[in-house]
Chains A and B, each alone.
Chain A
Amino acid sequence: MRARRRHPPEATSGLPDYLPEHLQAQREPAPPDELRLVLAPLAFERGVRLLRGAGARFITLLLAELPQPSLLAALALRGDLVVLRAPTGGAQPVRYGSIGAQWPAARWAEQELVEREGVAPIGFEADRRLTLPDADLIDRRLAGLDVFALPYGPVRSGVFEAIQFLIETGGENMPALQTRPFFKHRGMESRFAGLTPDAAVCVAERVAGIASVAYACAFSHAVERALGVAPSASAERWRAVHAELERIACHLDVIAKQAETTALSVGQARFQILKEQVMRMRARLSGSRFARGVICPGGVRCDGAVELDELLATVDALERDLRRDRRLFTATASMTDRLIGSGRVPRTLVEEYSAVGPLARGSGVSTDARHERPYGDYQRLGVRVVTWPEGDAMARINVRFGELVESLRLLRGSIDQLRRQNGELCAPLPRSRSGSAFGWVEAPQGELVIWVEIRRGILGNVHIASPSLRNWALFDHAFPKDVLTDFAFIEHSFGLTPAGADR
């Protein structure tokens, strides 16, 4: 990634003026676009609170080992990744003022740390275990004889990933819902430790399979930023090509599932055909239907058997078909009637939970990592963020339709440049360097952030802040006026993946 110096080097001692005045923190050197501030553990909660007041969006909370044992909070503020770091000095357990008690966005991240790492935030209260769910536990939130609790999952009807929802209903409306992730927890983050970054990218690709490229890119960016390596412009263009094809496949999948729930069979078939065409193009480009094995730290491994002209022709054909199918889809009343007004998520809720991706953009919150902190080829391409204000399932589908068109435009931009110049694809990584950094991408589900630590060329802690987990925290509140039969529409309109959330 080419460094965009938004803070001149001489400013490293001072703090940007958008930070709250009373934030008593020391700035320390960090990779570009990352603003690292050090403060004491007991001032940690206050620091996060002040940043929240200044308009920051919560990303994640983690325990880091490098550069020294610390508690880290990552927040997005004004196009920067603000990292608050509180050195713990090896204290056990780590004590600090609870963040999740005040800020719903931080609740699940904090609870994971409590249950897995044994941190002890002051003022934190958990109501049930998050990370090792019990499928038979029915902990009702509502009392009353006319309300019954309905556990839905982890064995779902149809071919869906495992997750459980505890629905409390009087028959039609759903006054309470609990989302229970972590049935699929495989310990993927710990699988990175001890590997070299080159060997570990296959782990990143298998955290959330439908977003393999996004995970591999975010991981590679983090490694490159930690080690101070910059991939070539051609490599970044290939990454953008694969990432946009992945986004197109994911969005088409959501739209096809939405058509399936309304029994719009031809519509479903149409979008499935388009998706399969994209998957086949990806298989021909990379040898894998999910473009696995392409992205690597330092660049891409690409010996695609496809001519760029042919790829361009596929993009053109896709755009032509998509335009017609979209027009039909949005004009089919039996479809739109079910989506308009369903699962309305107000903007205030999105901000409170720091939701990301098409979910946030469907509620009018313009957040997109490709635009906020542009990386790779997006710095040159410039991304037009698609937002819709309504906050309902229809708005989230409209956001996806808009992003499909935008992705096709970005694809053209990257392919055009590749036709002119297709240079060196993979820069070697320094073998014995150490470092730590965050890397990020806009995955199809939303902003994905990965923290990596490298000690003399070997990976240590890796932490994944997946968009799916962050957005699912909000799902409990997505049914203000909806009934049981709207459930599938609203779930599909979120378009999340349990594999990414559970890791």
Chain B
Amino acid sequence: MLAWIARGLRQGTVTTAYPRRPEPAPRGYRGTVEVLAQRGRAPDELAALCPTGAIAVDGAGRVSVDRGRCILCGACVAAAPDRFAFAARHETAARSRAALVVPEGTDDELEPLSQTLAEQARALRRSIHVRHIDCGSDGAEEWEIQALWNPYYDIQRLGFFLTAAPRHADILLVTGPVTRAMREPLERTWEVMPAPKALIAVGTDACSGGLSGSGPLSAGGVDAVLPVDVYVAGSPPSPIAIMHALLLATGRLRPEVAT
């Protein structure tokens, strides 16, 4: 056992300083798709580039991307590099679905939606218990959520704890488009959680259904079943993005970080 301790100490500290200091994404990281400055009227065919219908061209020929639908496949960036580009950033969470649509969307609700939860967080001295439920993800989101408790992200330093009991939980992380068999377990889990509580849709599948869309097999996103407080776009979102969402849900981000 002593050997393990020595081994652990030799490593030194690897933990990120986020959110005290921003965590830059590596060069070339596919964090989000940006719409480059609108140059002239966009052809309607641009919308057909996207396998999940995230690209829209309005009557005036302006292009927008719905990050809540975007699976970051890069088809649009490859086909129209003059209009779309990947941005290397981690923070992809927003408090409303509309705020995920760029360039129009704005997340200007400065008052956090879960004000009560933020008050509770203060009362609990920043001790927030998190529960996760998988409603049909591809499995990658689970890895990124688990990573929050690894030494690199160590979200316990910010007072977030994982709990197995929904009755003990303050925040529910939901992944996947909500498959038919998981709809009822999801509703039951949410019902037994005590108020105040917040729900975070983790990943593009949970935000909009992603590739599964909505149909007999999939509800097409968590908000088709339950009210969502924070949406995290990404396929899958990085651990920093999920951390960003947890901080947003508890109203703990300083404005300069929450841009």
Contact = CB atoms under 8 A, between A and B. Distances in A.
A497 interface: yes
Interface in A205-242: 206-210, 212
A284 B211 CA distance: 25
Contacts of B182: 154, 162, 183-184
Contact of B140 (A133, A157, A212, A267): A212
B110 to A, nearest CB: 31
Contacts of A158: 132, 162, 164
Interface string A171-213: 0000000000011111110010001000100110011111010
B73 interface: yes
B53 to A, nearest CB: 13
A159 B135 CA distance: 12
Contact of A183 (B30, B142, B177, B179): B179
Interface string B60-83: 000000000001111100100000
Contacts of A289: 144, 236, 238
A162 B136 contact: yes
A324 interface: yes
Contact of A208 (B7, B139, B210): B139
Contact of B8 (A195, A270, A288): A270
24 contacts: A133-B181, A135-B185, A159-B162, A159-B173, A160-B134, A161-B139, A162-B135, A183-B179, A186-B212, A206-B211, A208-B139, A210-B143, A269-B151, A273-B14, A273-B151, A280-B26, A284-B26, A284-B29, A287-B28, A287-B86, A289-B236, A289-B238, A293-B73, A325-B7
Contacts of B143: 209-210, 253
Contact of B189 (A134, A155, A264): A155
Interface SS of chain A: loop
Given A203-B51, A276-B150, 15 more contacts: A154-B182, A157-B165, A158-B132, A183-B182, A184-B135, A186-B136, A273-B11, A273-B14, A273-B151, A283-B25, A287-B29, A288-B30, A290-B140, A293-B74, A324-B7
B145 interface: yes
Contact of A209 (B147, B217, B236): B236
Contacts of A138: none
Interface in B142-159: 142-147, 150-152
A11 B241 CA distance: 57
B58 interface: no
B75 A199 contact: yes
Contacts of B27: 284, 305
Interface string B195-215: 000000000000000111001
A414 to B, nearest CB: 21
Contact of B51 (A199, A269, A280): A199
Interface in A484-503: 497-500, 502
B241 to A, nearest CB: 11
A373 interface: no
A161 B151 contact: no
A266 interface: yes
A266 B5 contact: yes
Interface residues of B, number: 64
- For the complex of A and B, the 8 pairs showing the least CB-CB separation, nearest first, are A209-B140, A157-B164, A209-B138, A272-B150, A499-B139, A202-B73, A266-B4, A287-B30
Interface in B213-259: 215, 217-218, 235-236, 238
B179 A186 contact: yes
Given A206-B210, A209-B137, A186 B218 contact: yes
A311 B28 CA distance: 16
Nearest to A331: B3
Contact of A499 (B11, B138, B152): B138
Nearest to B164: A157
Contact of A187 (B51, B86, B217): B217
Contacts of A332: 1, 4
A157 to B, nearest CB: 3
A203 B138 contact: no
A71 B144 CA distance: 40
A328 interface: yes
Interface in A455-503: 497-500, 502
Contacts of B133: 155, 162
A264 B4 CA distance: 9
A317 interface: no
A283 B179 CA distance: 29
A183 B181 contact: yes
Contacts of B151: 269, 272-273, 276
A184 B134 contact: yes
Interface in A282-336: 283-284, 287-290, 292-293, 301, 303-305, 324-325, 328, 332
A500 B139 contact: yes
A184 B136 CA distance: 4
A122 interface: no
A497 B139 contact: yes
B73 A162 contact: no
Contacts of B215: 187
A328 B4 CA distance: 7
A289 B238 CA distance: 8
B184 interface: yes
Among the interface residues A162, A332, A502, which one has the most CB atoms of the partner chain B within 10 A? A162
| B4, B8, B27, B30: residue with the most chain A Cβ atoms closer than 10 Å | B4
Contacts of A328: 3-4, 7
Nearest to B218: A186
